[in-house]
Amino acid sequence: MNQILALILKEGKVLARDRQALALLFAMPIFFILVMNFALEGVFEAGGKSRPVEVLVVNGDQGALGRRILDDLKRVEGLVLAETAADGSLISRDKADALISQGKYPLALLIPPDFSKLALSPSETNPENRAVVAFIHDPAMNARLLSGIKGAIREVILRRSFTARMAHRLKEALGPLALQSPMGLAPFPGLLNSLKDLEGDRAGEGPSPVLFQSLSPQGLQASRHPTVSEQNIPAYTIFGVFFIVLTLASSFFQEKRDGTFQRLLAAPISNAILLLGKLLPYYFVNLIQIALMFAVGVIFFKMGLGNPLALAMVSLAVALAANGLGLFVAAVGKTEAQIGALSVFLAITLSALGGMMVPTFVMPEFMKLLSYFTPHAWALSGYQDVIVRGLGAKQVLPETGMLLVFAGLFFGLAFWRFRFH
């Protein structure tokens, strides 16, 4: 027992010497719980009273039915309709496309011109003469997260359209003076046929008064939801790339501990060349990681990769940012335990904040803002632009540029704090 107590005391002293590493062991799970809990609130509460979903509305209908539908939707708990822009002007189709492409809104409802007329008297033989309501969404967004919202909107539209159509058919069948007739319904045989038709419509046997379609914002080549592979493979690729931080930082610490780094400093090379030679192998490892991850997606899941140049631009930039973060951890970590804990802490926390585990559009507003301060969010946005949205090299310049900014910031801080001796 005395021996066990002595060993416990010894290990306690070892842990107490490295207080920063000990603190990280407690801080990492706490931060992870906080980040994931705040982020996942959007998944479970989106569309509820406490977390309403904002839906853009482009109402081209000049009739009364379109306005009545919007009045009904405004009374649906968990939905907030935005019909006007910040300057007070009505939302146009172009404005809705731009706002959704920028990720500011998840969904837009497009009510076409002549909606009231077509919904009241739909053509049974010509689908082109039917009322068509469109949902405009970012193709990179998860379809399941939006399906409930779309379903609620569809139900309101169909219910109001069916009611309006019933009133319209009754009016046509009865005529303007029919309601004053003392003879009941007998003189109006068309009325019974109309009621039978409407009952068939409600049971799904007749034509629906409204058709629905899903669209992507104009200017995006993709017109579909991402597949599971297109959603997960880029996210997990980024997650894996940033785990190079632990390997890279540990390598520096081990060489300093073994004396290898000091012998390298004695060589007739500059410090910049020394660091460049150390970092390049890890940079190439990251690029191989990315290539293998996407190869798995192509071979096993038939995933398309989009524009090769745009994909390469994002990949080169995200690998550079990951290496910069690894050098920064190597510069600030004083012990092996600190480096290990800090590397895992940054890898998991930044991934959660950046949308690798939970899509950013379901996060609270303050977490959406925080995501812009992570390279992960910009990397994922860049990959989704290429793979899902079908954009090219010019369109991913903003994401690539921000990744290079992060890389420059990490390398700058690392050079400032790095201890060569």
pLDDT at 125 over 50: no
Tokens read off for 18: 């490295």
More confident residue, 32 or 65: 65
Contact 207, 158 (CB under 8 A): no
Same domain, 204 and 255: no
- Determine the pLDDT at residue 72: 86
> Which of these three, 193, 215, 237, is where a domain ends?
215
Q: Is residue 180 part of a domain?
A: yes
Query: For residue 367, what are its two tokens?
Result: 């977490």
**CA separation for the pair 241, 171 (Å, rounded):** 67
Same domain, 256 and 191: no
* Pair (94, 235) in one structural domain: no
Q: Are residues 177 and 246 in the same domain?
A: no
Per-residue pLDDT, 199: 45
The mean pLDDT value for 206-212 works out to 68
* Count of structural domains within the chain: 2
Would residue 377 count as lying in a domain? yes
The model's pLDDT over 352-403, given as tens digits with 9 standing for 90+, comes to 888 877 777 667 777 778 888 999 999 998 998 898 878 889 989 999 999 9
In angstroms, rounded to a whole number, what is the distance separating the alpha carbons of residues 197 and 97? Answer: 38
CA-CA distance, 327 to 264, in Å (whole number)?
17
Give the 3-state secondary structure of residue 288.
helix
Note whether 381 and 247 are same-domain residues. yes
Residue 11 belongs to a domain: no
**CATH number of the domain where residue 101 is located:** 3.40.1710
Which residue, among 222, 239, 240, 241, has the nearest Cα to 304 in the 3D structure? 222
Domain hosting residue 321, numbered range: 226-417
Query: How far apart, in whole angstroms, are the C-alpha atoms of residue 53 and residue 149?
Result: 8
Among 176-185, 267-276, 321-330, which is the least confidently predicted range?
176-185
How do strand 107-111 and strand 131-137 relate by DSSP bridges?
antiparallel
Whether 61 and 209 share a structural domain: yes
| Domain co-membership, 163 together with 245 | no
Q: H helices of 18-90, where?
A: 19-45, 64-74
pLDDT at 198: 47
**Mean pLDDT confidence for 230-251:** 85
pLDDT for the residue numbered 205: 44
What does the alpha-carbon distance between residue 240 and residue 289 come to, in Å, rounded to a whole number? 8
Residues 342 and 373 reside in one and the same domain: yes
Question: Of 164, 189, 215, which one is at a domain's C-terminal end?
Answer: 215
Measure the CA–CA gap between 309 and 327, rounded to whole angstroms: 27
* Last residue in a domain, options 215, 243, 264: 215
Query: Would you place residue 3 in the very low, low, confident or very high pLDDT band (cuts 50, 70, 90)?
Result: low
Mean pLDDT of 254-281: 78
Q: Is residue 387 in a domain?
A: yes
Query: How sure is the predictor about 184, in pLDDT bands with cuts at 50, 70 and 90?
Result: very low
pTM score of the predicted model? 0.65
Q: What is the average pLDDT score of the chain? A: 76
Q: Which pair of tokens denotes residue 407? A: 């890389």
In a domain, 35, yes or no: no
User: Same domain for 110 and 129?
Assistant: yes
Specify if 18 maps to a domain: no
Q: pLDDT at position 196, please?
A: 46
Please give the DSSP secondary-structure letter assigned to residue 113: T
* 187 and 82 within one domain: yes
Residue 5 resides in a domain: no
Q: Do the domain assignments include residue 182? A: yes
d(CA 138, CA 100): 6
Query: Comparing C-alpha atoms, which of 110, 107, 88, 97 is closest to residue 146?
Result: 107
Highest mean predicted confidence (pLDDT) among 76-80, 157-161, 177-181, 222-226 = 157-161
Residues 66 and 163 occupy one common structural domain: yes
**Residues 206 and 292 reside in one and the same domain:** no
Q: What is the pLDDT of residues 310-352, one digit of tens each?
A: 999 999 999 999 999 999 998 888 888 888 888 888 888 888 8
Maximum separation of any 2 CA atoms in the chain, in Å = 112
Mean predicted confidence (pLDDT) in 208-236 = 72
- The DSSP secondary structure of 156-177, one letter per residue, reads HHHHHHHHHHHHHHHHHHH-TT
Question: 421, 252, 241: which is closest to 336 by C-alpha?
Answer: 252
Beta-sheet strands, E only, within 83-225: 107-111, 131-137, 210-215
Spatial separation of the C-alpha atoms in residues 93 and 83, rounded to whole Å: 11
Average pLDDT over residues 79-107: 79
| Residues in CB range of 385: below 8 A, 6 or more apart | 140, 310, 391, 395, 396, 399
